[in-house]
C-alpha cells in the first residue's frame, strides 16, 4: 500500500492498553504496512517484568529504550 503523505503519531495521544499487571502498551502501528502485517508500539514495564517465549502471526518490531 503506497501513500503520498506522512503521518505523525504522538505517543501522548496513543491509548494505554493494559498488557499485564505491571505493564502497558501504546500502539503506534497496527495492521498492514507495505503489504505486510506489522505491529509496533511502546511497551512500558516495571523492573522485573518477564514474558514467556511466544509467537505472533504478524511481524513485531521491538526496540529496547531503557532497562537493565
User: What is the number of alpha carbons within 13 Å of residue 44 lying toward its C-beta?
Assistant: 9
- 26 vs 3, 4, 13, 23, CA distance in Å? 24, 25, 9, 10
DSSP 9-47: --GGGS--EEEETTEEEEEEEEEEETTEEEEEEEEEE-T
The confidence band for 1, taking pLDDT boundaries of 50, 70 and 90, is low
pLDDT, tens only, 3-55: 577 778 888 888 899 988 888 988 887 776 666 677 788 888 888 888 889 88
pLDDT at 18: 92
Amino acid at each position: 500500500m503506497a501513500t503520498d503523505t506522512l503521518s505523525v503519531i504522538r505517543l501522548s495521544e496513543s491509548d494505554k492498553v493494559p498488557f499485564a499487571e505491571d505493564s502497558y502498551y501504546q500502539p503506534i502501528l497496527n495492521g498492514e504496512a507495505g503489504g505486510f502485517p506489522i505491529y509496533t508500539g511502546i511497551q512500558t514495564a516495571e523492573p522485573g517484568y518477564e514474558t514467556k517465549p511466544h509467537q505472533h502471526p504478524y511481524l513485531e518490531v521491538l526496540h529496547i529504550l531503557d532497562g537493565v
